[in-house]
Amino acid sequence: MAQEFGGRWQIASGKPLARSTQSEILRVVDMRGEYEGEYALKRILRPLRQERFKREIAAVTALRHPNVIGIINYSAFKDASGDPEKQFLIMPIADGGDLGRSGRAERYKESVDFVFQIGRQIVSALMTAHDEGVIHRDLKPTNVLFMGLGQEIWLSDFGISLIREPDPQDGGRVFLAPELEGGTQLDVPPAVDVYSLGKVLYFLFSGGVILQGESLDDAKYSAILQQGKRRIALNALLRQMICPLESRIKTMPEVMKALDTLRAPD
């Protein structure tokens, strides 16, 4: 593997921050000195649909929101050769890891407060993205990044599902809206992110349980949502998110309004 990317980014450590069959994340430093310290380089190993993604990534870099991870450099995507050494993104390092990291969600198990706090940040980021015509399409726990040891998050990987095959290692297919199955539909409504967010919120509240399909009627998934007004309200919200498109909440402002009903009483 090359030690430099784009003639600028040098690997700072030989051990990847993360790796899957589709991508890997490395610690890098800027040899030009424009950016100090270490950054995360995400290398795409099996790039697809590059022209479409270039338009999408340009839109994402224009987003300005505290809960959308900044993309510092993406010029390599201007190369359409398909060379994986030239397909990368440069982003800040999320020192707190991601929600999918082993044991992370367990910290928030059965806490409506954390669902409210973290959920509002995700929804706020998606509202801004949707207003700019950018649909995430691939929301899952590994794309919810914690900036540090606190509860502040970044949302990452907008649109990246357009340029790589689904990764069976990360369980991402389970979080996809049914209308995205097969990966052939490129133009999709904001409601696909509503469905995936519902499953992420359940994952968060349950302490890391992956909800299979639309199974909230199954007692093994719904038991934790039956006691107390706020849990029952969360159950009602999730049922309006993790459901067929015709019955689903369609927009993030509607989700935000429903989330606000979960706010702890003064």
Span 78-136, pLDDT tens digits: 554 556 556 778 899 999 999 998 788 999 999 999 999 999 999 999 999 999 888 88
Q: What pLDDT shows up at residue 193?
A: 96
More confident residue, 174 or 62: 174
pLDDT value at 192 more than 70: yes
pLDDT value at 253 more than 90: yes
Say if CB 141 and CB 105 are below 8 A apart: yes
Say whether 105-262 and 4-91 share the same fold. Answer: no
Each domain of the chain, given as residue ranges in start order, spans 4-91, 105-262
Q: What pLDDT shows up at residue 163?
A: 46
| Backbone torsions φ then ψ of 64, nearest 5 degrees | -125, 100
CATH number of 105-262, picked from 1.10.510.10, 1.20.1250.20, 3.40.50.2020, 3.50.50.60: 1.10.510.10
Q: What pLDDT shows up at residue 19?
A: 77
More confident residue, 217 or 53: 217
d(CA 233, CA 253): 17
Q: b or e along 48-69 (b: 16 or more beta carbons within 10 Å of the residue's beta carbon)?
A: eebeebeebbeebbebebebbb
The pair of three-digit structure tokens given for residue 174, joined into one six-digit string: 């389970």
- According to CATH, the superfamily of the domain at 4-91 is Phosphorylase Kinase; domain 1 (3.30.200.20)
More confident residue, 10 or 13: 10
For the chain, what percent of residues have pLDDT higher than 90?
A: 53
Q: b or e along 99-130 (b: 16 or more beta carbons within 10 Å of the residue's beta carbon)?
A: bbeeebbeebeeebebbbbbbbbbbbbbbbbb
Kindly report, residue by residue over 26-42, the tens digit of the pLDDT.
999 999 999 999 999 88
Say if CB 221 and CB 230 are below 8 A apart: no
Q: What pLDDT shows up at residue 51?
A: 59
Comparing C-alpha atoms, which of 203, 206, 207, 180 is closest to residue 191? 180
pLDDT value at 213 more than 80: yes
Which residues does the annotation mark as catalytic? 137
